[in-house]
Amino acid sequence: MKTIRQSWSATKEFIREQQLNSASWALLLLTELLLYIFSLPHAIALRKFILLITFLISFKSFWEAMQKKPKPLLLTVVLLIILQVWMLVIAGYISYRPLHSFIEWKGQWLPVLMSLVIGIGIARILMHSKIRNPQAVVAMMIMIPVVLFLCVNAVVIIYDFILAGRFLPDQLGITDQKGITNYLIALLEPILIADMLGRLVKGKRLLPVPGWLISGILVLSVFSLFAASSRNGILILMFGFVLGASMMITEIRKAYSAKKVITSVLAILIIISVIAYTSYKTDPRWKTFIATIPIAWNIDRDLIWLNGDGTDLPVTSKGLPVDASEYYRIAWAHEGWRMLIAHPWGTEIARDTFHYLELKKYGHAGMLHSHNSWIDLGLEVGVQGLLLWGWILFLMGRFGWQVWRKHNETLGLALVILVILFSVRGLLDSIFRDHEIEQFMLVAGLLFGTISFEKLIPITSFDSRLKSEHKLLKQ
């Protein structure tokens, strides 16, 4: 109870000290609302409307930030604009359907640029306000709407479990596809990792909440992934924690004895093993995972992979059907790579480019996209556009890493983990599109802008008690 009272007092102190004007408060609240409704089904019109209003309010702050020419933030924005221009060139001079490509660009990629502008604009407002710890405010802005969404989603899932009287796999909750949950967790996970490792190693917390609440959010995340039967989400979750720990291995070794480091590593391995084993036992798709790979890669043997309806699947040497999800993803990625080589300059700006090319080549196609973001985007914008997009992600990730290494800024660590997780996840799902990429760019803009404008001040007295506890732990 004492910890809760202290956290509540700190929260009230934050509110008193912010001293933001009404436009800034409106911008913060709209952004929170936007991050929540991004993942709600049947809310596209509302999402676009709030995105537009938020963009208009934040643009002045963004423009003022750009006039300061912060590098490499300015270079990232310029590259994203160049990518947009290249897309318009493709729409006007390369696409088979110019009007369709232009409409797709307007609906898909213009909001991506707007989302980045919003994130940078809000970051500048916060960093130039009288807030004592704007980094914590940014982290909470990301955490609150995501955790709220996961909580509401979990309540609906648990209610369905109670009605059924047993555990039900593939639960959607309030979403319309199970991938939504793990996309949200991939946004939240970098914040949690940076906070947890910062507490353990630096004695500095990013989130002004007690440790037990962080643990509860992790449990909620794992539960949500298992309820949705999201293998990719579970893999990315485990990869994220291993990645974060690897990035901080030098600091961990300095802060703790070899015995404690080995004990902690073993504990992490045990937790990961338990999660992996539970996923293996509860998800039958793992049983044919290895055997599916060579069958799926051999796309010239037959054209079953074109159907995409889960019927008449090939069987393994043991007579078991291949894992449909894995089979289609590998086969489509292989065919998509061939298509990319055949169309290195891109084809058109459209979410169904892969489907359109397959339909044109084979006469029929049962898929909407390849489920590989890098392949799908490459087929749209060509190798040149793909390199531009990779450069943008690299600049954000590298800057986050540099700020973390040079100034021990935990938001920098969160940014580099966010970019890597998003890039890797793009190999497994088509997320360089729709609200997924808009969410990512908004969160990345918040983190990128904050560490670009901050003055890198020392740890405030807010963390003094935690630093004392940290020294006791090392002893």
Q: What is the DSSP string of 150-162?
A: HHHHHHHHHHHHH
For 72, the domain range is: 2-282+372-474
pLDDT tens-digit series, residues 197-235: 877 776 678 888 888 898 899 899 988 888 887 878 888
Domain match, 278 and 389 both: yes
Residues 6 or more apart in contact with residue 2 via CB below 8 angstroms: none
Task: Based on the fold, state whether residues 333 and 188 are members of the same structural domain.
Answer: no
User: Over 70: is that where the pLDDT of 15 sits?
Assistant: no
Q: Is residue 252's pLDDT more than 80? A: no
Residue 165: per-residue pLDDT:
83
- 52: its two tokens: 């537009």
Residue 38 to residue 258: CA distance in whole angstroms: 44
Q: Is residue 12 part of a domain?
A: yes
As a whole number of angstroms, the distance between CA 119 and CA 222 comes to 28
Looking at the structure, tell me whether residues 334 and 451 fall in a common domain.
Answer: no
Average pLDDT value over all residues in the chain: 84
pLDDT at 23: 78
Based on the domain organization, do 132 and 228 belong to the same domain? yes
Which of residues 72 and 148 earns the better pLDDT score?
148
At 387-418, the pLDDT tens digits run 999 999 999 999 999 998 888 888 999 999 99
Give yes or no for residue 460 having a pLDDT over 80: no
285-339 pLDDT, tens per residue? 777 788 888 888 988 888 888 887 777 788 887 777 888 888 888 989 999 999 9
pLDDT bucket at 379, cuts 50 / 70 / 90: very high
Average pLDDT over residues 79-89: 96
What does the pLDDT average to over 4-19?
54
Give the CA diameter of the chain.
70
Tell me the average pLDDT across 72-98.
93
The pLDDT confidence band at residue 16, using thresholds 50, 70 and 90, is low
CB-CB contact of 185 with 443 (8 Å): no
pLDDT band at 385 (very low <50, low <70, confident <90, very high): very high
**Given this model, what pLDDT does residue 36 score?**
92
Confidence of residue 155 (pLDDT cuts 50, 70, 90): very high
Q: Please report whether residue 367 resides in a domain.
A: no
Rounded distance between C-alpha atoms, residue 88 and residue 360, angstroms? 23
Is the domain of 450 the same as that of 335? no
Q: Quick check: is 430 in a domain?
A: yes
Instruction: Decide which of 334, 362, 390 is a domain's last residue.
Output: 362
pTM over 0.85: yes
Same domain for 403 and 318: no
pLDDT digits (tens, 9 = 90+) for 415-437: 999 999 999 999 988 899 888 99
